[in-house]
Every structure is written in C-alpha cells, then in structure tokens.
Amino acid sequence: MATYTPPLRDMRFVYHELFGGDDLQNLPGYSDFSGDTVDAILEEAGKLSAEVLFPLNRSGDEEGCHFENGVVRTPKGFKEAYAQFIAGGWTGLNGDPDYGGQGAPKSVNALVEEMICSANMAFGMYPGLTHGAYNALKLYGTDEQKQAYLPKFIDGTWSGTMCLTEPQCGTDLGLVRTKAEPQADGSYAITGTKIFISAGEHDLTENIVHLVLARMPDSPAGIKGISLFICPKFLPKPDGTPGARNGAACGAIEHKMGIKASATCVMNFDGARGWLVGEKNKGMRGMFAMMNTARLGVGLQGLGLSEVSYQGALLYARERLQGRGLKGAVHPEKPADPLIVHPDVRKNLLTMKSLTEGMRALTIWVAMSQDMAEKAATEEERTRHDDLIQFLTPVIKAFGTDIGFDCANIGVQIFGGHGYIREHGMEQYVRDARITQIYEGTNGIQALDLVGRKMTQHYGRYMRAFFHPVQEFIEQNITDPQMEEIVTTLAQGFGSLQAAVGQVAQKGMSNPNEAGAAATDLLKILSYVSVGYMWAKMAKLAYTKLNDDPTGFYKGKIKTANFYMQKLMPQVSALLGSLMAGGASIMDMEDELFDAAVAA
C-alpha cells in the first residue's frame, strides 16, 4: 500500500535553518508567527494531510466525481473532509486578516500546500483554485467586491474558479469568444462556453464564484479586448447569503487520466449576470494574478507527488527481497537481499531524493521572496525580491512538475510489476502528475515565457536577481576545501548557463525561431543550476552542523548534495550541446516530410 509521512524534519530545516524563516516574524503583520508557532502549524497540517486526506486519495480516484442533471457530487468522504478542513481554518491560513484570514507567511502556506498535494492532490485543487480567485479580487476588485467575496473565500464557505479556456483557445486567450453585454444596472450578461474548468461545479461549498474572461461588444480584437468578470453560481443577496441561481451551469465533466476526484467541468454561461473586475479591456492583468498563483501552486503539486512517490519507493526498496548484492549477500540471514542494496535502485532513490529536497528548498526560497516583497519597506527592496520571483516562476512550475512526473515514474519502476497494478497506489501518482506539466501553461510555454519575457524585460534585470547571488556564493566558497568539489561543479554549471543565455540572446534577436528552439533546453539548464545552487547552500550549512548530528540528517544532506553534483548536474553539459547546435534541424524539416514514411 502507498504510504505518506509529512517530511517535517526537512521542512523545518529549509524554513528555519537554510532561509532563516524565523526572521519573518520581524516583518509587519508576521509578529505572531514565531518559530514555535510555525512548527505547530506544520505539525497540525501534517496530521490533517496524513490522517484525513491521504486515506481518501485512492478511494477518491477509484470513485471519481458524479455528474447528474447539472449537479456534481464529489467522492465519498470529501464533503466531511472539506468541512474539517475549513473548521481548522486552513482556507484562511494565508488570507488577509482584514477579511478574516490568519495572515501567515506565504512560505509557511507553501509548505502546508505541499503536504496537501502529497496526501491528496485532487482534494487540494478545490481550495487551491479559490486561492487564485482570491488573489485576483484582492488586487483588482473594488472595495465592495472585496467585502462581498473575500471573507467568504477565506472562511471556505464559498469557492472560486478560473474560467479562461474555451474549445477554440487555450494558450492563445486572444481568441476568447465569450461575450459580456452591458446591462442597465451596471452588470453584464455573460454568454459563452468554457472548458477544462477545475472545480467549476461541486458540492463542497454553498456558492461557487467564477472569474470569467470575456469580451465586450466594442472591445478590440485579441488580448487587448479581454475583460475579467465575477460571475457567481448563486447571486448574493443583500445580507451576503446565496440567492437566486445565476445562468452559469455545468454541462459535463471530463473523464480524465488522473485527478479523478477533482471535477473538471464544461461551464455554460447563458446570459449569466457578471460584474467587471478592474478596468475594461484589462482582464489579462487579473488573469495573470490568478495564473502566477496557480503556476507556483502547480509546482507544489509536482513537489508533493515527488515526495509521496519517493516515500513509497523507499519503503518498498527496504522491504522487498530480491536477489543478492553484486559483491555477495548483504543480509545472509535472509532468503534474499532487499532491493535497496542494488546500485541501480539506489541511484533511482537518490535521484528522487535529491530532486525532491532540492526543489523544496528552491520553492521555499521563492515563497519567502514573496513574503519579503509583500512586506518590503522600500520600492527598491520590493523590486529586488519580485524580480527573483518573476525569473524563477517558470522553473518552479516546469521543473517542479517535470520532477513530479519523473519521480512518480521512477517509483513505479522500483516497484516493478507491483507498481503497475493499482494495489500499491504508485500508478495513481503517475496519472495524477501528468496533468501538472500541461495546465496553467504547458511547460513548453514556461520555456517561451523565460526566453521571451523574463530574460528580456527591463534589460535583463530579472536575471540579475538570480545570477548575482549565485556568483557571489561561488566566489565566497570556491576555496573552501570542504566545498571545493561541490562549488566547482556548480561554477561549471553556472558557466554553461551564462553561455546558453548569451547564445539565445544573440541568435534569438535575428531569428525568433532560434530562441524558441532553444527555450526548453535553456529552462532545463537554469533548473538544474538553480537546484544545484540550493544543494550547495544546504551542504555548506550541513558541514557546520556535523558535530551535533545524532540522526545523520546533516551527513545525509552532504552525501545527497555530492550525488546531485556528480550524477545529475552533468546533464547541463548535454543540454548545452543541444542548445548550441541551434534550431536548424528542427525548423528545416518540411511539414510534409513528417508523415513521409506513412505516405510511402
């Protein structure tokens, strides 16, 4: 059977020791979040995840959601679990205290989200989508809209969605056809169809608030003519309770490869009443507020699945007896040795461990930068932290989800045939993880975002927010005998990253297809170097703690860092070789030749 134990020791290490999260207590609004308080929050979130949500993961996958007469019912146990979830205040953990939230740091909330995603990713999508809608309204809603909706989001009685995609448009939102007709009372009549709407209809909350991209009659074509609207399932009455049913209904739910307990809906808007959010024709601002939240959240989904896949594989590798060690019996008293003695199994486990723990550190670095940006005393400080967030968001989303899928696959491989059947629960992680590489902007789109926006905006300022601390770390530690091998490998990877950026900048200016062809390779190089930087920082810290290491935690960190540098960082060289080869072999292929073998 699948297993999950919240990785609280590593979370505490990353939050308290690696990034000094206790110092956040000195920022405005965070005074209540001492180290002890944060630990208590993580421990309680871990209990909820392991004891309430995880037991529903497999049953929810097997049962799925039910759709009948426009009504969606979540799997058995989900309503009760959600009631317990909101009773514990988890929907408002990171919410603004002005609207009833607890105001916890985003970095603390990220660690909680990771545990929820490990335990039951499908369940976590319901409050997760609400968080995106909350952020958009908080940034762009009117005071009246904020007062009407944000407290309901925070207390969990209402949920939110993002209604962006339509049958004819996904990434290219300029093709949106949903219409918004102005009404005499200041509202709009929303008409159109949206697809792939997560949590578009369900039975967990008393109301569902849709944030819908639509086009007004006099709006210009393309994304410059898109506006954002609030369109609730039930129209709020003056006292704030749900009133009459709006013209927004679920027409069907998708039958999916994974996350089957999360309702993915076709939503039909038939003259539904909606209200403009922000400025007319400026809906993409609100969309990106939701999307950026979602992209970081999806990265956490990948991280959560990496962790739970690793735990299952590690337990199985220790218990499953198969063959003997290549140098002879390691446990002669047993009929065979456990899988963990075999080099390839150990390599697979260390790959999972190093990617998961490295990605956790990188994700919390970005989340803590969000905290620092939000509470910054000066605009200069806010910009510095926000630049790092902007630059690394494609890494968190794309690499976080790539390793989620890869680790889930490796977990199945370690289980062998037993991983391929449902009994052990490992195959579900593969199915659940696959969507994370696709939604909220495919990972290919993340690569294009990196080369097309993040590298070029403000004359490369976003890049400097990452490049400067890495360069400084290398210069300060390259002569440390304990760190020499690790830092030298990091420096080589960093040099490759710089060369790759220079190549893309040079070639891409004259031929955009060259930049596009190199984008995914560049994103992966940046990702491996980013995680490598985290491992170098963790190793440096671990060396200072070895004299007080009764459990071997810090020793394990150093050995895992060495594995990452020796076995995974070399992939940067191959990626650089691919990138330097240019895009000719990709773009020079005539379209008709793709099926020439079939035609012949």
Looking up residue 232, the CATH number of its domain turns out to be: 2.40.110.20
Give a yes or no: residue 31 inside a domain: yes
Q: Residue 353: inside a domain, yes or no?
A: no
Task: Please check whether residue 418 lies inside any domain of the structure.
Answer: no
Interatomic CA distance for residues 447 and 398, integer angstroms: 8
Task: Specify if 544 maps to a domain.
Answer: yes
CA 576 – CA 499 distance, rounded (Å): 8
Is 253 found in the same domain as 134? no
- Together in a domain, 110 and 192: no
The encoded tokens of residue 33 equal 């979040």
- CATH code, domain carrying 100: 1.10.540.10
Same domain for 89 and 212, yes or no, is no
91 and 52 fall within a common domain: yes
**CA torsion sign, 281 to 134 to 465 to 567?**
negative
Bridge partners of 277? Answer: 228
pLDDT in tens, 228-264: 999 999 999 999 999 999 999 999 999 999 999 999 9
Same structural domain for residues 250 and 116?
no
Helix, strand, coil shares, percent, the chain, to 5? 65, 10, 25
Same domain for 175 and 105:
no
b/e sequence 307-325, b meaning 16+ C-beta within 10 Å: bbbbbbbbebbeebeeebe
**Active-site option among 201, 357, 427, 440:** 440
**Are residues 175 and 270 both part of a single domain?**
yes
Let me know if residue 152 belongs to a domain: no
Q: How many whole angstroms separate alpha carbon 286 and alpha carbon 271?
A: 22
Q: Is 113 assigned a catalytic role?
A: no
The token duo for 136 is: 């958009």
Among the listed residues 112, 105, 109, the one whose alpha carbon sits nearest the alpha carbon of residue 372: 105
* H/E segment holding residue 207: strand 207-215
Domain boundary among 140, 167, 186: 140
Domain that holds residue 237: 159-283
pLDDT tens for the 600 residues of the chain, in order: 689 999 999 999 999 999 999 999 999 999 999 999 999 999 999 999 999 999 999 999 999 999 999 999 999 999 999 999 999 999 999 999 999 999 999 999 999 999 999 999 999 999 999 999 999 999 999 999 999 999 999 999 999 999 999 999 988 888 999 999 999 999 999 999 999 999 999 999 999 999 999 999 999 999 999 999 999 999 999 999 999 999 999 999 999 999 999 999 999 999 999 999 999 999 988 887 777 788 999 999 999 999 999 999 999 999 999 999 999 999 999 999 999 999 999 999 999 999 999 999 999 999 999 999 999 999 999 999 999 999 999 999 999 999 999 999 999 999 999 999 999 999 999 999 999 999 999 999 999 999 999 999 888 999 999 999 999 999 999 999 999 999 999 999 999 999 999 999 999 888 999 999 999 999 999 999 999 999 999 999 999 999 999 999 999 999 999 999 999 999 999 999 999 999 999 999 999 999 988 865
Residue 542 lies in a domain: yes
Regarding whether 186 and 125 lie in a shared domain, the answer is no
- Residue 221 falls inside a structural domain: yes
- Whether 117 and 211 map to the same domain: the answer is no
pTM over 0.95: yes
Q: Which of 80, 111, 140 is the last residue of a domain?
A: 140
**Is 450 inside a domain boundary?**
yes
| Per-residue pLDDT, 600 | 56
Total number of domains constituting the chain: 3
Q: Mark whether 560 and 457 lie in a shared domain.
A: yes
User: Which residue carries 């962790």 as its tokens?
Assistant: 307
Which DSSP state fits 321?
A: B
pLDDT at 527: 98
Supply the DSSP string of 326-390, one letter for each residue. Answer: TTS-SSTTSSS-BGGGSHHHHHHHHHHHHHHHHHHHHHHHHHHHHHHHHT-SSHHHHHHHHHHHH
**Token pair listed for 381:** 């400080």
Say yes or no: 38 and 129 in one domain.
yes
CA–CA separation, 452 and 444 (whole Å): 12
- Shared domain check, 501 and 446: yes
Q: Which of 251, 283, 315 is the last residue of a domain?
A: 283
